[in-house]
Amino acid sequence: MKHNGGNYMKVMVIDDEAIVIKGLRMIIPWEEYGFEWLPPAENGRKALEQMACTMPNLIIVDCQMPVMGGVELLAEIRNREWAMKSVILSGHDEFDYVRQALQLGASDYLLKPPDTDMLLEVLVKIKKEWEEENQRYRQLQENMPLIRDRFLRSLLEGARLPEKLFIEKTAYLNVPLTLEPFRIVLLQIEQDPEMLRDFNYEDQQLMNFAIQNIAEETLQQWEKKCIFLETSGKFVLIMHMTCSLEELRRDLRQLVMNIKMTLKYFVTVGVSAHNGQLLHEGKMAYGQAKMALEYKYYTGPNEVIFIDDVDWEMSKSRKKSDGQDSLITEAPAAEDLSTAYERLRMALKIGNLQELEAWMQYFFTELQEKEIAIPLTKTESLQAMIYGANVISELHPKMQLDQLLTAEQIQCVVAAATLQELSQICKSFLRYLLHLTVELRKSGRNNVVENVKAMLETQFASNLSLDIIAKEVFVSPVYLSFLFKQVEGINLTDYITQVRMDKAKQLLLGSNLKTYEIANRVGYQDEKYFSRLFKKRIGMTPTEFRQ
């Protein structure tokens, strides 16, 4: 079988007899069979020096040579973890050496002087093996991103691996993750509604590639991290905390800005708490990051939301898994309901009635379908009510648990005659809790929102960012967004636009100022952008409105 193109296999002969080297060079038409003849060596030591530069794929090596023989050379190659194939040349009385060489991974052996046909047969067989191995390696490399992503996903889905296997897998997949503390960062990407583009599949792939590149570049000081595309428009970053929390905040804000400036995309970033080991807490951290992203409902896009910030009522020293969560995990069917209880917590904290109704529907469907014993359905319902009351007393420390959940209400649960009756008692109570927290929030925190509105009345034309406004009223940006939406029912950014448009309408009707002058006076440097926004909000251009 002659060589018909493709890769040449580099071969080196190592023998202390020059005549053997010369003979091997002459009897085989190496190039015709796809081999590249490298300069030979007279012993193992010399061969090692040359190999460091030329790195052969195959060596044909004499068993016994001065300075360093074939078996010693193969042992040294194994120590250095060099991947190369080998054929041993031996005399009739050297079978002990041959046995050792085969144990060290030699592919075959031939007696000296080797028969041409037999040598050629061995060479062709080894080259075929080598080509097949290369092909398998190439396929593995092509599929490596897929295998790597699958491994990372499994960690976030709760896969448990022994530490040793985790270390082996991360090394094999070239994933720079360790057993150190970590955070999960989720990037939610969406098009700017002002600049919608119709992307085909190839465009989207290019865009995904560009986003990953920008993330890698912006976060280059964070060496221990992995990024992958979870679903269309959502990327997952697993990061070890090799730098400070403040540096992470700064770099993630920069990432949002870079993607917005470069690709004209909106980005919302949700960040988990500081967790222990990815091996054990990957799923929990992933849930925290997803929960942080849910606050986009209040903040709007282009924000970095740390779960540590939005979970502001919790004591900094206490983990989520302490305290109230133990009520749930000790209960039967905990595995199915544990993630659902986190949803109940969020529904009550955010004041989201729709989410609360969905949770209650799920909860009682579970109780019904599993045909749980009657006393246990009451225990479970009571657990949910106590859990909900605890969430509220965390939010509003003045509200005591026994004020929220009275002895009479507990007695009603115990006395319920049907699951239907039980579900009505529990649902009414949870709805009451949600209404209570929304009202308490509104009354207790209205003055912060009023201060913001008063500030906007005079400073609407300034370069206002969420950070600047939050500093003025002494709260965090994410918390301010949350409060404003709760009290006013509108995002703060939308409210600022609304104030500016109202002022613009007054100027259009009550002055002779040109459109660009009005745009400047209400906080927009770009007249075209102002006109486009005005038309979108008011339904007509500034000129049409004036007429």
5 phi-psi bin (left φ>0, alpha ψ -120 to 50, beta other):
left
Q: What is the pLDDT of residues 441-497, one digit of tens each?
A: 666 556 778 888 888 888 888 888 888 888 887 767 777 887 788 778 888 889 999
230 Cα distance to chain centroid? 7
d(CA 445, CA 434): 16
**Tens-place pLDDT, residues 163-199:** 888 888 888 888 899 999 999 999 999 887 777 777 7
In whole angstroms, what is the distance from residue 172 CA to residue 148 CA? 10
CA distance 58 to 81: 14
- Residue pair 492/484 in contact by the 8 Å Cβ criterion: yes
Q: Per-residue pLDDT for 234 more than 50?
A: yes
- pLDDT value at 145 more than 90: no
pLDDT of residue 402: 76
Which 3 state secondary structure label does DSSP give 265? strand
Residues in the chain: 547
Backbone angles phi, psi at 290, to 5 degrees: -65, -40
Q: Give 319 or 352, the one with higher predicted confidence.
A: 352
Q: Does residue 66 have a cis peptide bond before it, meaning omega lies within 30 degrees of 0? A: no
Taking the chain, what is the end-to-end CA distance rounded to the nearest angstrom?
A: 88
**Contact of 422 with 416, CB cutoff 8 Å:** yes
40 secondary structure, DSSP code: P
What per-residue confidence (pLDDT) applies to 385?
93
24-50 pLDDT, tens digit each: 999 999 999 999 999 999 999 999 999
CA R_g for the chain:
35
DSSP for 87-111, please give it: EEEE-TT-HHHHHHHHHTT--EEEE
pLDDT at 6: 54
Is the four-CA dihedral 295, 297, 298, 303 of positive or negative sign?
positive
SS3 breakdown of the chain: % helix, strand, coil, rounded to 5? Answer: 60, 10, 25
**What is the predicted pLDDT for the residue at 398?**
64
213 Cβ contact partners less than 8 Å away, ≥ 6 residues apart: none
Give 110-129 pLDDT, tens digit per residue: 888 888 888 999 999 999 99
